[in-house]
Structure 1
Amino acid sequence: MLLAIILVTLIVLIMLRVPVAFSILGTGFLGLVLLGGLGHALPILETAPATAVRNSSLSAISLFMLMAQFMLMSGLLDSLFDAARSLVGRIPGGTGVASVGAGTAFAAVSGSSTAAAATLAQTSTKRMLSEGYQQTVASGLVASVGTLAAMIPPSIILVFYAITAEASVGDVLVAGFFPGLLIAIAMVATMYVGMAFQKGAVPAGQRSTWAEKWKSLWHASPLLFIFVAVVGSIFLGIATPTEAAALGALVALILVVARGRFTTQKFLVAVAETVKSTAMILAIVMAAHVLGHFLTETRTAPKLVQAIEDSAMPALLVMVLIAAFYVLLGFFMDQVAIIALTVPIVLPVVEELGYDAVWFGIFMILLAEVGMITPPMGLNVFVVSKSSGIPAVVVFRGAFPYVVVMLLMAMVFLLWPGLVMWVPNLMG
């Protein structure tokens, strides 16, 4: 009964738009007080938050955020779309395919879904509209492709999940690479299916000369250094994820200077944005540890595992119910809050069913990312709408087919977990 009261209070606070960290901290503290009194709750409040942020792996999150800010400063991200378009622009729907390719490449050097959506909206969406693409096609595709940044390493969300789940950060990071590529391919296929039912929705491609191809690829080629520095060093075991994040941030800063884009003002803005984002995440981490003490003392996870064992439900059915739960949460909460709140409770159940913690990270983040392009939150949709001037309702409508394909890909990963674990297994 006490657990139900605390969870309902938490949901109400979040729906009232109370900042997530304060909602979690307040309900966790209230639960501890009701469970053992103020004398029991205060010592936990004094020690748990500080203990929570002593994990050195958390520094990787800040460094990846700083790297993303430097990439935005460098201006190289604008070259991604031109490079992709020069390669595939000649085929029908080539600019749309180029948008997916640019979004995938952006994901491999940024790790931020909203940053990916905003950048692509300013480049590929406007280019597609000028070439005659329908608004639903141009905006919905870009908003959806932005979600790949949470899947393809280096991903801030994947690092946060690995730390919360106490899984290998390196394994979780590289595990998102192959599934991310499969989702990108599925998005391209979805766009072409839409073309088949809407004649004229996507115009014919435009050719590029070999000189134009080489020029655009040369301009975008420095991004390869970022990818090799981060993902390559982790995959080969040369660096830890935190060291790789630091190396990536350093290489990104060097590219900013080399391209003549460095100014003191821009540098301070990048650092300030990194600090603000880091503070938000660390606040949620500290609050989640207080709530975690309450959940541990109420034995929530063991009781949930026992209840599922007693129900004798098939493992696949339980996982489908868990998947529906995460999709629902994604409608109202951001991914960091979802991970902090649910992973300590749900992961023991998933592991009891025989699934791997690394696999589950990719699975649940894919499901939670659906909320980035669905109402009422739909953060990527609103970012694209603001950047492109297209009404949000049009973007939501254009993104719907990609919501369907993301859910279908989640089911594919559920039925064939080896697709997710292929790259981590290559690492040994």
Structure 2
Amino acid sequence: METIHMALLGLVGMFVLMAIGMPIAFAMLLAGAAGIASILSFSAATHLVSTTVWDQFSSYSLSVIPLFVLMGQLAFRSGITERLYAAAYSWLGRAPGGLASSTIVASAGFSTICGSNAAASATMGMIALPEMKRYGYSRALSAGAVAVGGTLGAVIPPSVVMIVIGIQTEQSILALFLAGIVPGILLTLLFIATIAFICWRHPSAAPKGPATTLKEKLIAGLSVLETLALFSFVIGGLYAGLFTPTEAGATGAFGALVIGLVRRGLTIPRIIEAVLESLRISAMVIMLITAAVVFGRFLTLTRLPSELAAWVTSLPVSPDIILVAILLIYLIGGAFVDALGFLVVTLPIFFPLSAALGFDPIWFSMMLVIVTTIGSVSPPVGVNVFVVSALAPDIKIGAIFKNVFYFFFSFVLCIALIWLYPDTVLYLPRMLQ
């Protein structure tokens, strides 16, 4: 059997294993190991898998993942999110849809210290949904705002998705972090504009909140300076070369711990919960990366990535058309499979292809981050939507997806602007050179 056919058989086998319920990491690992064994030998496959697992789980570069995850978990349990929401509400609550817009702004603020979209949705949902219900907001609009606000956790640094992409494609994590700042701000503004449009079309969906004085606004703003300081110190220290990404994660986690203890928002049980949840998430992500390395080596042996790149670049079509096809694959795949898992599975195939087509790796990575993030609010999987639904079981899933649909235009416009003006992504990373 030709190696290309074996590669296709391995891909089909992997997706079949996923379809019958096997976790993505184990499906990749099993398909990759079986493929290597069929090309080389069983002993070669077992040796490669064992050494890869050891190398990845003992890798210093991967230690950045649990540290940034711990930073977000400590921040989540220390009360930072409540202060972020209160500050955003004091400034925006009086405007039409102000509470929903406050949810978006607070989600963006929380995303600067938490790299997970599901965690951002869960955190903001517990705070914002009761408040919007109290002020008579449409339940579907409230849930939609929380769900899409959570997607900022994957776009705004420090993002776990960016860390995984950086490690898997051997790119600078700092460059990816810097590349995500402008798109994150852009998406935040577009989400707020979408809420304003919804309120213009349906004024009763979002009544105005009570007015706040300038003094109250200033006091609320001062209460979140610690969050801004922590984000600035972590990213600024990385940029200035004061510490490596791993040291930045450790610094951020320590800073979140200090803030929580000084604010008396952290107790021993909460710290233990944060550590245990960080271990669970980190083990899952590192296992995904390990399985992706094994599966990637199988694909390398089959020469599928290089053959695909050579075939695609020889097609008589524009690279932009091919890129559209790639993004559509990620959009559809992200709607059915966990976004991070789908990225890990497909990067060994499409990242070399994008390089062969001449696309900047940082720019291409950010396009993938945004496109796959849409999957977290798209049916049928839409993990953020299901997280919000669990917090508010009185809201029908269909109603949440319907309101989330309004925000899809924000994603499309953001992608279009990044495509037309690549410097929105590349300007800050180029400052490193």
Q: CA deviation at 1:83?
A: 0.3
Is there any run of 5+ residues in structure 2 with no aligned partner, and where? none
2:289 matched to which residue of 1?
285
1:265 is aligned, of 255, 265, 269, to 269
Deviates more, 1:197-206 or 1:65-74: 197-206
Of 376, 401, 408, the residue aligned with 2:406 is: 401
Residues 124-203 of structure 1 aligned to structure 2 (within 5 Å): 124-203=128-207
In structure 2, how many angstroms separate the alpha carbons of the residues matched to 1:412 and 1:219?
A: 34
- Given residue 426 of structure 1, which amino acid in structure 2 is its aligned partner? M
Q: 2:359 aligns with which of 330, 348, 355?
A: 355
1:203 alignment partner, SS class = coil
The residue that corresponds to 1:11 in the other structure is 15
Equivalent-residue separation in structure 2 for 1:259 and 1:87 (angstroms): 23
Which residue identity lines up with residue 97 of structure 1 in the other structure? S
How far apart are the structure 2 equivalents of 1:261 and 1:195? 35
Shift of 1:205: 4.2
The residue that corresponds to 1:31 in the other structure is: 35
Query: Which moved further from structure 2: 215-224 or 177-186?
Result: 215-224
Match of 2:423 among 410, 418, 422: 418
Q: Secondary structure at the match of 1:17?
A: coil
Instruction: Tell me the residue number matched to 2:78.
Output: 74
30-39 vs 105-114, which moves further: 30-39
1:306 corresponds, among 291, 296, 310, to 310
Q: Is the 8 A contact 2:33 2:295 kept in 1?
A: yes
Structure 1 segment 55-74 matched on structure 2, within 5 A: 55-74=59-78
Matches within 5 A, 1:245-394: 245-389=249-393, 390-394=395-399
Equivalent position of 1:84 in the other structure: 88
Q: Structure 1: which amino acid aligns with 2:346?
A: T
Q: CA deviation at 1:272?
A: 1.0
| Aligned counterpart, 1:221 | 225
C-alpha distance after superposition, 1:86-117 (max 9, x if no partner): 11222222222211111111111111211111
Whole-angstrom CA distance in 2 between matches of 1:43 and 1:276: 27
Tell me which amino acid in the other structure corresponds to 1:145: G
Kept in 1: contact 2:96–2:199 (CA 8 A): no
TM-score of the superposed pair, with normalisation by structure 2:
0.95
> CA–CA distance in 2 between the matches of 1:259 and 1:212?
19
* Counterparts of 2:122 and 2:76, CA distance in 1: 11
Q: Which residue number corresponds to residue 432 of structure 2?
A: 427
Supply the distance in 2 between the matched residues of 1:199 and 1:156 (Cα, whole angstroms). Answer: 37
Note the C-alpha offset of 1:412: 2.4
Q: Residues 339 and 376 of structure 2 are in contact (CA less than 8 Å); yes or no, is this contact kept in structure 1?
A: no
Letter in 1 for 2:108: T
Residue from 89, 107, 115 that aligns with 1:103: 107
Q: Deviations over 1:349-384 (max 9, x none)?
A: 111222111111211011111111112211111111
Return 83-92 or 300-309, whichever deviates more.
83-92
Relative distance call for 1:117 and 1:4 in structure 2 (3 A) is same
Counterpart CA distance in 2 for 1:42 and 1:118 is 40
Is the CA contact 1:151–1:176 (under 8 Å) kept in the aligned structure 2?
yes
One-letter code aligned to 1:276: R
* 2:57–2:286 CA contact under 8 A, matched in 1: yes
Q: Which ranges of structure 1 fall in alignment gaps of 5 or more residues?
A: none
The residue identity in structure 2 corresponding to 1:395 is I
- The farther-off stretch of 162-171 and 92-101 is 92-101
- SS of 2:114's equivalent in the other structure is coil
Take 1:119 and 1:165, find their aligned partners in 2: how far apart are those partners?
A: 31
Q: Which moved more, 1:318-327 or 1:351-360?
A: 351-360
Q: 2:246 aligns with which of 228, 242, 247?
A: 242
Q: CA deviation at 1:224?
A: 2.0
Runs of 4 or more consecutive aligned structure 1 residues displaced over 4 Å after TM superposition? none
Check 1:356–1:55 CA distance in 2 against 1; reply closer, same or farther (3 A cut): farther
Letter in 1 for 2:10: I
Q: Distance in 2 between matches of 1:407 and 1:24?
A: 31
Letter in 2 for 1:4: L
**C-alpha deviation, 1:163, in angstroms:** 0.6
* In structure 2, distance between residues paired with 1:388 and 1:62: 30
Cα pair 1:225 1:251 within 8 Å, conserved: no
CA distance, structure 2, for counterparts of residue 234 and residue 368 of structure 1: 26
Q: How far apart, in 2, do the equivalents of 1:260 and 1:197 lie?
A: 43
Q: Is contact 1:53-1:285 (8 Å) kept?
A: no
Distance between the aligned counterparts of 1:312 and 1:55, measured in 2?
43
Tell me the CA shift for residue 54 of structure 1: 4.1
Contact 1:95 1:205 in 2 (8 A): yes
| Alignment size in residue pairs | 428
Shift in Å, 1:33: 2.1
2:46 corresponds to which of 42, 54, 59: 42
2:127 & 2:43 partners in 1: Cα distance? 57
Question: Deviations 1:65-97 (Å, cap 9, x if unpaired)?
Answer: 111111022112111111011112222222222
**Greater shift in the superposed pair: 214-223 or 279-288:** 214-223
**SS at 1:222 equivalent:** helix
TM-score by length of 1: 0.96
| Aligned-pair Cα RMSD in Å | 1.6
